[in-house]
Amino acid sequence: AQTVTQSQPEMSVQEAETVTLSCTYDTSESDYYLFWYKQPPSRQMILVIRQEAYKQQNATENRFSVNFQKAAKSFSLKISDSQLGDAAMYFCAYRSWYNNNDMRFGAGTRLTVKP
Amino acid sequence: NAGVTQTPKFRILKIGQSMTLQCTQDMNHNYMYWYRQDPGMGLKLIYYSVGAGITDKGEVPNGYNVSRSTTEDFPLRLELAAPSQTSVYFCASSTEDSPGLEAFFGQGTRLTVV
């Protein structure tokens, strides 16, 4: 079964600075999707960014970008110009192309933004 | 836009009691899911459904049951509550029209079994 590992339980960043959250995954599949979800204190899970494994180009969404290294099975999230509203739990997730009913989540990274 | 709505938001149950967590979505999504989130852990799939009348087990189905009589509703039933079921429960939905079947989540139900 696929596993997702987030090795940083907590991270902190100064407002306006850049922070990178790490994620690695284990799979024998060649086609899949990767996601970063944000969970603020309200508990609402919000999609931040997604990456299709067949695309070599890294996904970007405004201040959020990923560094997708397929061979290394690594999928890190970079947040630029951090804002106080970015403070949240961030979850990395994997969805198989072949068994798309099962999305695997990492344990999460709690991001604190210091003013 | 309501999206995915879960009720209740909080609940305390005594051991052995039963309850139903409600979930409804107004996006006409075929796929619906129930996850649980334990402290310090990611979400784990309990049950899922690919359409009305079709349900299947996920990674941690023991102690739970589901039904899907309509596209909109996907209730989760706990028959005999146990302390191990203390968790935050999330309902989600998705559609094949969204790349990667992006999941849209409800706000969660915090359940405590005492």
Task: Say whether pLDDT at A93 is over 90.
Answer: yes
Summarize pLDDT for B65-106 with one digit per residue, the tens: 999 999 999 999 998 999 999 999 999 999 877 777 788 999
Residue A22's identity, in one-letter code, is S
Res B34: pLDDT = 96
A49-89, pLDDT tens digit by residue? 999 999 989 999 999 999 999 999 999 999 999 999 999 99
Mutate to test the interface with A, among B37, B88, B94, B107 (most CBs of A within 10 A): B37
- Does the structure show a pLDDT above 90 at A102? no
Write out the E strands in A1-115: 3-5, 10-14, 19-21, 24-26, 32-39, 46-52, 60-61, 64-69, 74-79, 88-96, 103-105, 109-114
Query: pLDDT higher for B26 or B97?
Result: B26
Nearest residue on chain A to B3, alpha-carbon basis: A44
Name the closest residue on chain A to residue B106, using Cα atoms.
A44
DSSP state of A59: P
Q: What pLDDT digit, counting tens, does each position of B6-21 carry?
A: 999 999 999 999 999 9
Distance, in Å, from the CA atom of A49 to the CA atom of A34, rounded to the nearest integer, reads 8
Partner residue facing A106 (CB), from B42, B56, B92:
B42
Helix (H, G, I), strand (E, B) or coil at A38: strand
Name the percent of chain B lying above pLDDT 70: 98
Please, which pLDDT band fits residue A100 given cuts at 50, 70 and 90?
low
